[in-house]
Amino acid sequence: MDQRINLVTLGVADVQASAAFFERLGWKRSSQSQDEVAFFDAGGMVFGLFGRDSLAADAGVSPDGNGFRAFSLALNFGSKDAVDAALKEAEAAGARIVKPAEEVFWGGYSGYFTDPDGNLWEVAHNPFWPLDEDGRVQLPA
């Protein structure tokens, strides 16, 4: 199997409300989006929003579940100042800051917010993972 991820889809309570949140962050919705699903170009990956119940039905699983989901999504930036600015922008767009940015044990700087559906997003500066000119992480071999 190829070592890659092409699409991350979040099951959300209200696709249009969630899509509007990401648009307030400056993300551009793809023309392939519809009322029931929204897609965003995420720098070589696709980020999708799909109704929680519909996503569960599509996978054949129960839509029940709440609390900590045992994963986070992350946005990496080239500096601490950019992390602080991104957290402020997320909060202004309707995110809830759950951990303000701070120096962290692994040598970086990060904080967390939750989107309108409670999904956990880390906003980080990792000095050990440089970003290319397109903002993509250059993971050391």
pLDDT computed for residue 60 by the predictor: 82
| Contact in structure between 121 and 90 (CB atoms under 8 Å) | yes
pLDDT computed for residue 3 by the predictor: 79
* Domain membership flag for residue 136: no
Q: pLDDT truncated to tens, each residue of the chain (141 aa)?
A: 777 888 999 999 999 999 999 999 999 999 999 999 999 999 889 999 999 999 988 888 888 876 777 788 999 999 999 999 999 999 999 999 999 999 999 999 999 999 999 899 999 999 999 999 988 888 877
| Contact in structure between 26 and 32 (CB atoms under 8 Å) | no
Total domains present in the chain = 2
pLDDT computed for residue 89 by the predictor: 97
pLDDT computed for residue 61 by the predictor: 80
pLDDT computed for residue 59 by the predictor: 80
pLDDT computed for residue 69 by the predictor: 75
- Order of all β-strands in the sheet with 46-51: 7-12, 46-51, 37-41
Is residue 9 within a helix (H) or strand (E), and if so which, with residue range? strand 7-12
Q: What CA dihedral angle connects 46, 95, 105 and 140, to 10 degrees?
A: 20
- Global pTM? 0.84
* Domain membership flag for residue 102: yes
CATH of residue 27's domain is: 3.10.180.10
How far is Cα 86 from Cα 80, in angstroms, rounded to an integer?
10
pLDDT computed for residue 116 by the predictor: 94
For 109-124, give the DSSP string. EEEEEE-TT--EEEEE
Q: Does residue 81 sit in the same domain as residue 119?
A: yes
The domain of 112 spans 73-125
* Domain membership flag for residue 28: yes
pLDDT computed for residue 76 by the predictor: 94
